[in-house]
Structures are given as C-alpha cells and as structure tokens.
Structure 1
Amino acid sequence: MKFYYSRLPLLLLVIAISGVAFNASSTTIENSVVSAAEKRLDDPIPAPIQKGSIRLRLKQIVSDLTAPNWAVSAPSDPEHLYVGDQDGKLWRINLTNNNKEVFLDFSDVLVPLGISGSGSFDERGFLGFAFHPQYAENGLLYTYTSEPAGDSSDFTTIPSGASPNHRSVVKELRLNSTSSPAVVEEVRVLLTVDQPQFNHNAGALNFGPDNMLYIAFGDGGGADDRDGQDSGGNPIIGHGTDGNGQNPSNPLGSLLRIDPAGNNSSNGKYGIPSDNPFIGSDTALPETYAYGFRNPFRFSFDSQTSALVLADVGQNDIEEVNLVQAGGNYGWALKEGNFRFEPNGNEPGFVTDESVAGDFIDPVVQYDHDEGTAIIGGFIYRGNAITALQGKYLFGDVAKTGQGDGRLFYSDGSAILELDLTEQDQPGFWVLGFGRDADGELYVLSNTTGTPFETTGAVYKVIPNASFDAGFVDIPAVNVMLDNGDSSVYRARLQLVQDSQPLRFELVDHEQLTDRFRDDTTTFDQTTGKLNLPFTNVVDANGKISTYAAELQQVPDMPVLTFELSKQPALVK
C-alpha cells in the first residue's frame, strides 16, 4: 500500500497520539485513495487540438538512418547538420548535396539495445551531444551515452545489494575533425549516474548563452517515480519514498548546469558555476539548475531571447512544455502538467484537479493523451524562410496511438496548434526528434519502426510553400536553371500587374541564397522561360487555405522580368 503524499504527516500524527491499530489506519488510507479515485479526471483537457493556419512541407534530405533523435550544426560550420542516432552513430550531413557520412561511432560503448532483444523497443542509447561554443578552435564535443553498469558511479540512488539497469555517462571528447570519420584525440569522463530502470533517460545536452553546459536527466524510469511497483517483472528500485523528481539531492529528474572547464565538483572533473541556484543548499546538489521533471525530452534555448524551453514526457495523462527558470520546481511526481498526480498504489496513476501544496511552476502549454502519447521537444523558429512560423515553438508527439502516427505541433505560448502539412494529413512516421541548422531552419527526425533497429530513419527539412496574398507572390526558394547549364537558388517576390488578362506578374524583389536552401520542386528554366510553382498557398477571405500548382511563362522583351499565367492552376489541397 502506498501512502497518499499530502496526508502522510497527518496520518502518522494521528497514529502516534491515539495509538490507533495499524489495521484501522490502513482502512483510513484506503478511504483516502478511494476518495481520490472518485475525483479522477478521465479527460483532463476535453478541447481537441485544432489544425493551425500554417501550411508547410516536409522535404526528406537523408534516409537509411536508424533512430535519429537530435540534430544541430557545429559552430563555424553552416554547411553541415550533425545528427545523433540512438544506435550510436553521429552523422554529418552536407546540406548542399544531402550526402551523409559517419562522423563518429559510439556503438561499442553502449549497453546492448532492445529491452526484449534485437528489434525491440528501448529508450537507452546515444541520447545527446553538444559542440563547445569554441569548437572551431578547441575541437571539444560533449556526449551523453547509456553504458553498462559496473564501475562505481559519481551519483547513485541504488540501494545496497541491488544493481542499476545501466548508467548514463557524460564525456568530453577532443576531436581532430579534418578527417572523416573524425579522430578522437582525448576522452574525459565528466560524470556518471546510475539509472535504476531502462527508461526515462532524457539525455539532452546544450550549451546555454552563458557558455555553461546544461544536462537533462529523467526520473530514473519505471512508472510513477516510486519504489515497489512492477517494472518488467521486477520491483522498481532507486526512487525512494518521495521519488527522484522531488529530490534534488541527486541528478535524476533534474536539469543540471555545469562548467566543463572547472574542477570544483565533488569528483574534481568539472566546475559548478557560482551563480547556480542551489549553491550552499543542504538538500539539493549544487549542480542542480531546476527539478521536478519526469523525462525531459528535449530542451533548447531560443537563439533570440535565450529562453530555455523544455518538453517533459508525462505519465498516463499530460504532456507539457515548460519555460525553465533557475531554481524552479516543475512538479513531478506531485503534479503531472498543472494537475495533481495520484500514484494509485500499484495501479496506473491518474490526475485530478485537486490542489497541491508547494511552490511549483506549471507548464506554458500542455495536452492530454487524447492527442498523443509522448511529447518530443523542438525549437523556437528563428529562421528566415518561414515568416508565419517566426517566434513559434515547433515540437511534436512520438505517436498519437503508439502505432507510428507521429504528430507535429507549434505554439506561441498561448495555445497548441497542429501543423498543416501540404502533401499528407499526418507525418506518417514516429517523430523521434528535431534539429536546427546554422540558418535557424528546422528539421524533423523520424523512423517507421519506433525502435533503435533497422534503417528506416530519416531527416526531413521543414520548408515553406510559395504564397499569393494581397497581389504578391512570395517564393521562398526557386531553383534557377541558367542558359549555361549552371543553377542558382533565389528568394523572389512577384507583383500582380493590375487588370492584366491573362494574369501577369512582375519581379519586384529577389535575393540569391546558398545551395542549402534549394527546393528542387520550384524551378525556373531560363532557356524555356517556364516558372513552375507546384505548391502555392492562397488564403481566402474566411482564412481558409488552399494550395495550388501553377505554371507561368516568361513574357519576352519586357523591361522587367514578367511572367504570365499559362494554364489554370490545379488544386493540390
């Protein structure tokens, strides 16, 4: 029997003073659980997530990966995107020609993947990496890997006589990246953490704008963040009575902030910044930046405002997006989202709308399991290609029903909307992660198995359609094929010529782009004069979006580059 947290001190006081028999107190506890069950919310957020007004496309740039889960550029290397694959590979993708190569391979240090053997699900693996802000000068890369337990770890919650499932290892690697694959010249282990169960590892690493390294840890796995329940045929251990999420004296369930260049940590291998919020605390690790998380997968910094946005995977009901503040307590496992969480003994936990005593920070936005099963954090968009997405947080859910039906969402912090995809209603794959390149453009990482096996993994770039609004056609990227056989990529704007029939459009603005912005579907052939716009969004007076395929023909001998609509546009969606 598990005590209901907020009533435990009162019950113990009653027992101590009145000498009530244990059987009587057990009945009282049973009644409190029944009372909580009566307040269970089966549909905590009834309103469904609506389709938003932003219609975009997904352009596959790489395939034949396994389970990609994180992608970023390296400092001073805008031509490449580096993609972490759960099975241990770090890929380098050339964004000009989309060629890929293995940059590093950590598969030999990982715990064997597949909780039920080869081909089965797992949350362990190569889970995070971050380039040092001065990587171009010092060659430093930081990694988070799930490795076999064995040696004594820096941090553990495992009781004496028991063994962890594995351990999380954060390393610093000094690379010589002039060759391919890169050469690791030096490896330094920064910290190790025992993991009680296979799941809830989190694993994201990011350098903040303060040049400190932030590391996300989940609550240690199992379910409900409590000892005693069954997990794969074994009782859950390593969480204690109150859970790791509410115990900032260990790394589990917390976001850490460290200085890799320092040495004042307990193991002497990294530094603890003097302005960390729990410096001098008797109850929290000085490394702790924020706590109360279940499985923070993932977090990122807004490149414009430096806001730290963290997505936390829920238990049975609520998925949430948080704005993280130094010293903040985000509630798990007393809360799931902004609801009260009831562990419910050895049965599945649930939420109620009862209050919870404590100083907690609630999510900015949240959704329930009518909409998905596990949130996947992304990035606030700050690129230049998609005006409508500017300043909005792009994220997703791994699979609405757990059957490879991932979803893509965006939010401005006030509501969640579903991304409107041009060529399909839903992505059609497991959403495993997101990426951001040096231009601020975003990527979706996926596979079709939901496991760290096989080679169905792919990377998709989020790209805009052309648009026609208020007499202007805005073309985000057009591949211009020149008379001499060369090609270039341009952003262009055309203006409708008033009273023209057939409709004519004049070029009023253009900008040459790098080849990494190339959109092979939108083309202008200088030899034939044909401008092909296969995806053009048009919004009517009621705000309804329709997408058309249009073909225009250059009008010869005009002082300004002019095109004429050569055939009736075809409705795409």
Structure 2
Amino acid sequence: MSRRAILAALVAACLTARPGVAQVLLPPNFVDDTILGGLDQPNAMAFLPDGRLFVTELKTGRIRLVVNGHVGSTDPAITVDSLTNDNIERGLQGIAIDPRWPTYPYVYTCYTHVGSRMVLVRYTATGDVSNPSGGNIVLGSKRTLIHDFVDNADNHNGLGLRFGTDGTLLMTTGDDADGCTAQVLGSLGGKLLRMDVTRIPAGGGGPVPRALLIPTSGNPFVGPDSNACLVYAQGLRNPWRFGVDAMTGAILLGDVGENTYEELDEIFAGHNYGWPYREGPMVRTYPGCTDPGNTYDPPLISMDRNTGYTAVIGAAVYRPVMNGIANWPTLYSGNYFYGDYFMSRLRRLVKTGGVWGPATAVPGQPNAQDWATGLKFVVDFGVGKDGSLWWLKSYDDNMTSVTGAIHRIRYTGTTDVPLASLGAKTLRVAPNPFQDQVDLEWRLTTTGPVLIEVFDMRGRRVRRFEAEASAGRVVWDGRDDAGRPVGTGVYLARMRHANDPEQIARVLRLR
C-alpha cells in the first residue's frame, strides 16, 4: 500500500477525531520543546549557519524564515511559482542553504511544477542575510537549475536536499511510480544525485546547462548522457529524507518500501540499492523490466511493514556542535536516528567495528526498542546550532489544518564533555568551503606546541603551521609552503598537540 493511500485513510479517520498531540516520551534529562506552531503543513527545514531556520510548506508553496521562535518580519520569504499540489505527496519539498552563506546567500529548493515535471531552483536572499537576529529576508532572482524531472505519477517524488561535507548538493529522486527507471542511468528517477553548484552564475534565469552541474570529480558515471553524470547512486524507490554525517561525510538514507519492507541505506558512489528487484532483504520481480543480475547493496536495516512501519524517515546523524549550549552526551555522537511518518517512534543505529546495528537501550527510554515515542507525522530532522535535535511535525495527531510545528529535543542534564573541552578537541574551519582564504582555529585546555598541517587527498603535505598557545588561529591562503596556489578540491587539516587527541577536519577549496 502506498504512503498516499494510507494518508488518505488517516484523513478520513481523523475527520471526526478531537484535535490533539500525544506527549513525546524521552529518556531522562531530555525534553521536547515546541518552538513554533500554527504552520500550514510544513515539510522540510534547513538551518542557516547563524542558527536561523527556513521552513517549507508543502501545499502553500511558502518558504518561511524562523528567528528566535518567531516567523520573520517579512513572511513569507517567498511563495514559489507554478506549484502543483493536487495530490497528497505533491508540493514544495526539500530545501538547503548554500554552505558559503552569507557570501553566497543562496537557497535551493525543489518542487512539483505545472506541466507534469519537477524542478530544482536557486533563490538569492536579500535583506538581513548577515544579521543573526534579522527577520527581513526576501528570496528572489530565481534561477532554474534542472527543469525536466519527470512527474507523470502524483507520488514517489523524493526531492530531499542536503549539502555534503565536500560542498556538493545532494538530492534524492523517487521512481515516479515506475520502478524500472531506478535502474536506468539515463533517467533521473530513483537516484541520489550529486551536483556542483559553485559554477552557476549569479542572478536569475536558467535552466543551466547540465555541464555546469556535473562535478569535476567524485561522481562515478560518465555516460551514457549528462543525466548519468549527475548520478551518485541508483536503485532507490522513494527516498525522501536522508542525513549527512557532519564529521565523516557519510550519507545515510531512508527508502520507503512498497508492500513488504522499509529500509535504511548507507550510500556510496556508484552503488546500486536494488529497487525494483530488491525490497529490503526480499528478492522480487517487477513488470516491464528484468533483473540483469547486478550486484546490489543490502540495506543497513530493514523494517517489516507488518510491524507498523509505513514511511521511514531517515533522520540525522547526531554530532555535538561547537559551543552548543545543549549538546548531548558523547554516548550519542555518531548515532543515526530514524523514525516513521505514521509510527510516532524514534530509534537509533550505531556503528561498531564498521557495521551498523541497533543501539543498546538507555535507562528510562520508553521501551526496549524506541528511544522516543510521540513523534507522529514527523517530516524532517536536523541538529541545531544549540546542539539539540530539531524536528518538524506536519500537523497535530488528528491532522487538523494549520497545526504544523517545529520542535526540538533538548538535553537538560550535565554533559560528560565540558563545552570548553569540546571546543578544544574540534579543529574549527571557516568558511568551509572557501575560495581565497580559510581560518583554522583551535582552543586547548593546556598550552604547548601546536602543529597544524594541510594535506591533499593523496596524503601529500601542502602547508605547515606551528604555534604555541592554548587558543589561536592561523589563516591558510590556499597556497603551499612554497607560495604556489593549490588546486580546487578536498584537503585535510590535521592538528596535533601533546595533551589532546589528533584532530582532522575536511576543507574544500572552490574556484
């Protein structure tokens, strides 16, 4: 049964029910805060680097700015044009913020468009782009990046957006209810796409040539056409939400199943996840195409739909935030959280010895499997600037109109890593990505010699800095020790200090 059919049945069942929201049950020392309510079916969210938040609304087509728990003074920032919202799954979907903000104040979003197609667009922000408390942001100068995603069916859109740690834009696409397309490289359906958006000209216009979106390196396919050159992974059915580990860059994704299994996948370049010939662990057939016998990656974990799972939400990999006032204990660092749109539960996976598996229950959680319950109609997650896990609820538990809300799961106990120590053990890199120069900043609990080195991806050292201070900053100007400019791409900055563990941070240099 499709997510659309189940949601339609729930709508009918809720018409006579009383509005309400079930209590969110959490382990001790965690609380669920409602940050803002009264939203009209919010659907996706993305944080600005300064902590402000953009939220999309599925059916209204509005992008709304949230500042300190209130909507911005200019509301909405924009209402997208030519939106198709004629069925339950169609509408305004993913949103992502350019990691070079505010130098490049770009907001990316994707939605179902009139004319049986879907689009990926970029808007330029004006107004309070550099003011963390400013509520006056207007999105304009629309530039269409891709205008011809096929949207024949009214479901299986996908359209999740996140930036990778290397600065590329990642986007999920559904199979448009035609599973065979997930195995066709020339089709954009049933894929995870990886795009370079740094070469797109300023201002409005478009659509842009595919060549401008194809990364110079890292994508696994070179043909048969330019569509294939955007594909990072294939064999997906209806991937909606996914998370990117801020520390490792790992991509972890929830793929909604058809009738038997939901699944979670770790995405690797060039890998094939099997749809429509695999659904979770099950080998299956699909009308209109035949399994060629390729190698398919098994899921990290499969959820039998007989247990109630219906629309898995791949949430977020939790990592503490530099100077976060509500960072969670180190027990949770690197945990992958996942939920379900209908099931109200939140669970964890941990990686041990290179293998992902269910996390051991913590004392006081609601039951042996669920770390939290009461998160019904959850549509998106993200780690906020405060270190809390924020989540987006499309409406109250009875689907009452205009009852969507932004929540956060906040830790109230004493963290086992002092904030100063956390900051010291994390080499801060900003801005990242960078073009001309980047700050490499550190804080330590004790003084002593500090060595910071920058390496290219072949392991060759290109720059060396030495200091002797408990806190400081060096500026890398994108040149090697001989003063020669280095090329674009990913570099590794490594900090060594006698009394602290070695720290490594990825640095991306752009044109």
Counterpart check, 1:314 vs 2:285: no
C-alpha displacement of 1:58: 1.8
After TM superposition, the structure 1 = structure 2 runs for residues 451-462 of structure 1, keeping only pairs within 5 Å, are 454-462=401-409
Q: Give the letter for the 2:122 counterpart.
A: E
Residues 262 and 272, structure 1, Cα contact 8 Å, conserved in 2 = no
After TM superposition, the structure 1 = structure 2 runs for residues 315-464 of structure 1, keeping only pairs within 5 Å, are 315-343=258-286, 357-369=293-305, 370-383=307-320, 385-387=327-329, 388-400=331-343, 406-412=344-350, 413-415=356-358, 420=365, 426-427=373-374, 429-448=376-395, 454-464=401-411
Alignment correspondent of 2:222 = 280
Alignment correspondent of 1:105 = 78
Match of 2:146 among 151, 169, 191: 191
Q: TM-score, normalised by structure 2?
A: 0.64
Q: TM-score, normalised by structure 1?
A: 0.57
CA gap of 1:253–1:465, structure 2 versus 1, over 3 A, is: same
CA gap of 1:263–1:56, structure 2 versus 1, over 3 A, is: closer
After TM superposition, the structure 1 = structure 2 runs for residues 148-187 of structure 1, keeping only pairs within 5 Å, are 148-149=114-115, 166-178=116-128, 180-187=135-142
Could you tell me how far apart the structure 1 residues matched to 2:185 and 2:397 are?
Answer: 32
CA gap of 1:244–1:340, structure 2 versus 1, over 3 A, is: same
Counterpart check, 1:82 vs 2:54: yes
Alignment correspondent of 1:3 = none
Q: Give the letter for the 2:181 counterpart.
A: N
Q: Deviations over 1:349-372 (max 9, x none)?
A: xxxxxx993211111122111141
Q: Deviations over 1:36-62 (max 9, x none)?
A: xxxxxxxxxxxxxxx997874322111
Q: Give the letter for the 1:277 counterpart.
A: N
Could you tell me how far apart the structure 1 residues matched to 2:197 and 2:170 are?
Answer: 10
Q: Deviations over 1:208-260 (max 9, x none)?
A: 12211111111013xxx35xxxxxxxxxxxxxxxx111112111001111212
C-alpha displacement of 1:274: 2.4
Alignment correspondent of 2:232 = 289
Q: Deviations over 1:461-486 (max 9, x none)?
A: 112353xxxxxxx379xxxxxxxxxx
Alignment correspondent of 2:42 = 68
Residues 395 and 401, structure 2, Cα contact 8 Å, conserved in 1 = no
Could you tell me how far apart the structure 2 residues matched to 1:93 and 1:421 are?
Answer: 31
Q: Deviations over 1:390-439 (max 9, x none)?
A: 21111210113xxxxx22121112126789359x9831632222122234
Alignment correspondent of 1:560 = none
Match of 1:124 among 90, 93, 96: 90
Could you tell me how far apart the structure 1 residues matched to 2:297 and 2:103 are?
Answer: 39
Counterpart check, 1:144 vs 2:110: yes
C-alpha displacement of 1:298: 1.0
Residues 373 and 397, structure 1, Cα contact 8 Å, conserved in 2 = yes
Larger Rg computed on CA atoms: 1
Residues 190 and 270, structure 1, Cα contact 8 Å, conserved in 2 = no
Partner of 2:222, secondary structure, is coil
C-alpha displacement of 1:81: 2.5
Give the count of matched residue pairs: 362
CA gap of 1:331–1:83, structure 2 versus 1, over 3 A, is: same
C-alpha displacement of 1:69: 2.7
CA gap of 1:81–1:372, structure 2 versus 1, over 3 A, is: same
Structure 1 gaps, min length 5:
1-50, 116-121, 150-165, 227-242, 347-354, 401-405, 467-473, 477-489, 491-573
C-alpha displacement of 1:271: 2.6
C-alpha displacement of 1:326: 0.7
Structure 2 gaps, min length 5:
1-24, 129-133, 202-206, 322-326, 351-355, 421-511
Residues 103 and 180, structure 1, Cα contact 8 Å, conserved in 2 = no
CA gap of 1:448–1:357, structure 2 versus 1, over 3 A, is: same
Counterpart check, 1:93 vs 2:66: yes
Residues 120 and 145, structure 2, Cα contact 8 Å, conserved in 1 = yes
Residues 35 and 408, structure 2, Cα contact 8 Å, conserved in 1 = yes
Alignment correspondent of 2:182 = 245
Q: Deviations over 1:317-371 (max 9, x none)?
A: 111111111111111111012321244x69xxxxxxxx99321111112211114
Could you tell me how far apart the structure 1 residues matched to 2:317 and 2:271 are?
Answer: 21
Could you tell me how far apart the structure 1 residues matched to 2:302 and 2:230 are?
Answer: 28
Could you tell me how far apart the structure 2 residues matched to 1:418 and 1:64 are?
Answer: 34
Could you tell me how far apart the structure 2 residues matched to 1:452 and 1:324 are?
Answer: 33
